[in-house]
Structure 1
Amino acid sequence: MTRLMMIRHAPTPWNRAGLLQGRTDIALDPAGEGWVATWRLPAEAADLLPVASPLARARRTAELLLGAPPPTDPRLAEMHYGAWEGQRLADLRARLGEAMTANEARGWDFTPPKGESPAMVLARLAPWLRERAGQEPGTLALCHNGIIRVVMARAAGWDFRGKPPAKLRDGTAHLFRLAPDGTPSVERLNIPLTDSPKPEGPAS
């Protein structure tokens, strides 16, 4: 089985404000870039082939962490939140009420207006996972929380209803194994990249 290590980009101003970013191309700010400077790849990342989402926050995180920009793949772009981008999830739940509850209860088929469901994200990731399953020694993917959650859900059999099997923490790496058909399994989650605390609060 082939190794796949996935790392979420460093925080942006929108992350710290609790706003859904999706495909909105928000860059890291100095606080985010400074935090990445404290990150160090774990031993399990040795010799892995790097690739990044084309969105600026992931590309810049990869460049700072690796010392050079890696190739990008559009299939690693964040889940599209459509009309909800730039809004807070808590505000959407409060405003939409039962309609939001019913949408979230759809699990894999939860879909923001004009956006993507987790099932749609998996559909575009599946060919990429199959490709990477055949590439040794494995892959290091710099991407997004929504992408990693879909891979974790597929690996753990979680249907996006109720609590996830694990909380994916910022400033960590997540190691999976890919079967020859691209099916992922969890090897180790939340491998620390740094001892430095995440920058919090509104960006200056």
Structure 2
Amino acid sequence: MRLFMVRHGETAWNREGRLQGQRDIPLDETGLRQAELTAGRFRGFPLDAVLSSPLRRAEATGRRIFEAAECESFVTDPGFMEIHHGDWEGMTVREIAQKDASLLEEWHSCPERVRMPGPGGETLADVQRRAVSALDRAMPNSGKDALLVTHGAVLKVLICHFLDVPLSYYWRLRIPNCGVSCVEFRDGMPRVALLSDVGHLREGRGNFLS
């Protein structure tokens, strides 16, 4: 069994460098195009289910993949939502540096120690717990391949979980918009077989059935 994992397409706030967190920002024109190209990579591919964050940027990306794949089940779960950045949501890094320089420095050096400031702010451990729980709820039991569309922080903490590495590795992972990763499950052990591949966005690469 394989779990494919895809980050949503680009938004205007991605372009502006604004922390989106759980703000429900839609895909922009580039993001819609990225979603279509990613859907093309899974066209006709047999998937037991497409799982998604309910935030629009993820759900819109997931719906396009769902419509292209050979798949009958589309499931959203709030456990796959992006990290809640608290008071930082909607701000650029430059703006945050002017307001919370010491906390921002700790976030970039020791992210596993930081709780996002303000109401609703989460830690990476919070995100990892709810994302893993959501996978346990939503993953089909058929043993067939599934696909998850979610957000950058969620993907990073899930990859740390599958690799059994600490959350201090967070910044060692780069997850571009519509990057495709894949985890294989054999004998109960997860193996990361593909990480943040974006070849389909640059080269018009054929789909996984090619």
Q: Does 1:187 align with 2:193?
A: yes
Is 2:160–2:169's contact at 8 Å kept on the other side of the alignment? Answer: no
Q: Does 1:159 align with 2:158?
A: no
Residue of structure 2 in register with 1:121 after alignment: 127
Q: Does 1:145 align with 2:152?
A: yes
Residue of structure 2 in register with 1:56 after alignment: 56
Residue of structure 2 in register with 1:67 after alignment: 67
The CA distance in 1 between the partners of 2:98 and 2:170, in whole Å, is 18
The CA distance in 1 between the partners of 2:95 and 2:169, in whole Å, is 20
Q: Which runs of 5+ in 2 are unaligned?
A: 204-210
SS in 2 for 1:7: strand
Q: Alpha-carbon deviation of 1:177?
A: 3.1
Residue of structure 2 in register with 1:174 after alignment: 181
More helix by share: 2
Is 1:50–1:70's contact at 8 Å kept on the other side of the alignment? Answer: yes
Residue of structure 2 in register with 1:27 after alignment: 26
The CA distance in 2 between the partners of 1:144 and 1:89, in whole Å, is 18
Residue of structure 2 in register with 1:80 after alignment: 84
Q: 1:184 to 1:160 in 2, by over 3 A?
A: farther
TM-score, scaled relative to structure 2: 0.78
The CA distance in 2 between the partners of 1:129 and 1:184, in whole Å, is 14
Q: Alpha-carbon deviation of 1:101?
A: 2.3
Residue of structure 1 in register with 2:9 after alignment: 10
SS in 2 for 1:136: coil
The CA distance in 1 between the partners of 2:103 and 2:47, in whole Å, is 47
The CA distance in 1 between the partners of 2:160 and 2:140, in whole Å, is 18
Q: How many residues were matched structurally?
A: 193
Is 1:153–1:160's contact at 8 Å kept on the other side of the alignment? Answer: no
Look up the equivalent residue of 2:54 and give its one-letter code.
P
Q: CA RMSD in A?
A: 2.8
The CA distance in 2 between the partners of 1:48 and 1:41, in whole Å, is 16
| Cα deviation 1:52-80 (Å, max 9, x = unaligned) | 11111111111223328922111111111
Is 2:7–2:175's contact at 8 Å kept on the other side of the alignment? Answer: no
The CA distance in 2 between the partners of 1:56 and 1:126, in whole Å, is 21
Q: Alpha-carbon deviation of 1:34?
A: 2.6
Is 1:42–1:191's contact at 8 Å kept on the other side of the alignment? Answer: no
The CA distance in 1 between the partners of 2:142 and 2:21, in whole Å, is 28
Look up the equivalent residue of 1:54 and give its one-letter code.
P
Q: Which runs of 5+ in 1 are unaligned?
A: 198-204
Is 1:154–1:184's contact at 8 Å kept on the other side of the alignment? Answer: no
The CA distance in 2 between the partners of 1:48 and 1:89, in whole Å, is 39
